[in-house]
Chain A
Amino acid sequence: MPVIRIPTPLRPHAGGLDSVETTGASVREVLDKLGEKFPEIRDRVLDGGELRRFVNIYVNNEDIRYLDDLDTPVADRDEVSIIPAVAGG
Chain B
Amino acid sequence: MAENVNGAAATDPIERYSRQVRFPQLGEEGQRKLMASRVTICGCGALGTVLANHLVRAGVGFVRIVDRDFIETHNLQRQVLFDESDVSDNLPKAEAAARKLRNINSVVTIEPVVTDIDHTNIIELTRDVDLILDGTDNFETRYLINDAAVKQNKPWIFGGVIGSEGQTMTIRPGITPCVRCVVESAPPPGMTATCETAGVLGPAVAVIASFEAVEAIKLLTGAYDALNKEMITIDIWDWTFRRLKIASLLGKVDCPCCKHRKFEWLEGDLGSRTTTLCGRNSVQVAHRRSQPLDFADLAAQLATAGEVRHNAFMLRFSADGHEFTVFPDGRAIIKGTNDVAKARVLYSRYLGN
Residues of A participating in the B interface, judged by any CB pair closer than 8 Å:
7-9, 18, 44, 52-54, 56, 58, 61-63, 65-66, 81, 83-89
Interface-centre pick from A44, A62, A85, A87 (highest chain B CB count, 10 A): A87
Whether A88 pairs with B200 at a CB distance below 8 angstroms is yes
* 274-330 of chain B: CB within 8 A of chain A: 278
- Select which of A18, A44, A52, A85 is within 8 A of B139 by beta carbon: A85
Closest 8 CB pairs of A and B: A9-B193, A86-B160, A53-B184, A88-B162, A53-B185, A54-B187, A89-B47, A85-B183
* 165-202 of chain B: CB within 8 A of chain A: 165-167, 182-188, 191-195, 198, 200
Whether B137 pairs with A88 at a CB distance below 8 angstroms is yes
Report the Cα distance A70→B138, complex, angstroms: 28
Whether A87 pairs with B160 at a CB distance below 8 angstroms is yes
Chain B residues contacting A53 (CB-CB under 8 Å) are 184-185
Report the Cα distance A7→B244, complex, angstroms: 14
Report the Cα distance A63→B184, complex, angstroms: 13
Report the Cα distance A89→B49, complex, angstroms: 11
Whether A65 pairs with B252 at a CB distance below 8 angstroms is yes
Whether B161 pairs with A63 at a CB distance below 8 angstroms is no
In the complex, what's the smallest C-beta–C-beta distance from A58 to chain B, in angstroms?
Answer: 5
Whether A66 pairs with B191 at a CB distance below 8 angstroms is no
Whether B187 pairs with A89 at a CB distance below 8 angstroms is no
Interface-centre pick from B134, B183, B194 (highest chain A CB count, 10 A): B183
Chain-A contact segment, one of B9-17, B22-30, B68-76, B235-243: B235-243
- Select which of B45, B138, B161, B233 is within 8 A of A83 by beta carbon: B233
Whether B243 pairs with A65 at a CB distance below 8 angstroms is no
Chain A residues contacting B161 (CB-CB under 8 Å) are 86, 88-89
Whether B192 pairs with A87 at a CB distance below 8 angstroms is yes
Whether A18 pairs with B46 at a CB distance below 8 angstroms is no
Report the Cα distance A88→B244, complex, angstroms: 19
- Select which of A54, A62, A66 is within 8 A of B185 by beta carbon: A54
Which A residue's beta carbon lies closest to that of B184? A53
Chain B residues contacting A88 (CB-CB under 8 Å) are 137, 160-162, 194-195, 200, 278
Whether B242 pairs with A81 at a CB distance below 8 angstroms is yes
Report the Cα distance A2→B338, complex, angstroms: 42
- Assuming the A-B contacts A61-B243, A61-B245, are A85 and B198 also in contact, with contact meaning beta carbons closer than 8 angstroms in the complex? no
Interface-centre pick from B136, B164, B167, B192 (highest chain A CB count, 10 A): B192
Interface-centre pick from A18, A44, A88 (highest chain B CB count, 10 A): A88
- Assuming the A-B contacts A86-B167, A89-B46, are A61 and B187 also in contact, with contact meaning beta carbons closer than 8 angstroms in the complex? no
